[in-house]
Amino acid sequence: MTKRALLFLLVAFTLPVHADFSTLARAIDNHRGVHRVWIPFLGLARAVVWVARPEGVHDFQLATFEGTERLDPRELQRILAEEAGPGFKPLVRTWSRHSKEWTFIYVRPTPNSSRMELMVLTNDDEETVLVRVEVDAGVIARKLNDPRHVKMVASR
């Protein structure tokens, strides 16, 4: 077996798989005219995050979709609420009055841990992005209480 194939198998079988994310991504992708966009090296980036553990981030998954401009945001919000999985609660639900931009963020605590999972579904005029991220709640709280960090994020 080549080193590359061995690395692929190692990454594929050691990274946790989250059925909630996959189910949700499939539910969005199943709409007529919508298709999921492949992102090169995303699996490798996820493996690096999983191993390197940047401050506060423990895991993530990402999917982008094209062809969602005809979908009703309320329908996607309903899908997110139904398919995100047990324990997810809405944190942010926002629509732009002047464009087709919207964002839904759902959150749930990770059992027996100080972590939380965020499921973010957002849309601009061109594409829809679904992100699941597992973060350390203490680090996020610390960063939000640091005025310098909040100002830096707000200025972006």
Residue 5 CB partners (closer than 8 Å, separation 6+) = none
pLDDT, tens digit (0-9, with 9 covering 90-100), for 113-148 = 788 999 999 998 778 999 999 998 888 778 777 766
Q: Which H helix or E strand runs over 48?
A: helix 42-52
144 near 152, Cβ under 8 Å? no
Sorted by where each begins, the domain ranges of the chain are: 18-154
Residue 53 to residues 2, 48, 113, 153: CA-CA distances in angstroms? 27, 8, 16, 21
Q: Taking the model in full, what pTM does it have?
A: 0.77
Give percent of the chain above pLDDT 70.
81
Mean residue pLDDT of the chain comes to: 81
Q: Is 23 exposed, middle or buried (0-12, 13-18, 19+ CB in 10 A)?
A: middle
Distance between CA 45 and CA 7 in Å, rounded? Answer: 13
Distance between CA 50 and CA 124 in Å, rounded? Answer: 28
> Hey, how many other C-beta atoms are within 10 angstroms of the C-beta on 28?
22
19 near 54, Cβ under 8 Å? no
Using the predicted structure, report yes or no on whether residue 11 has a pLDDT greater than 60. no
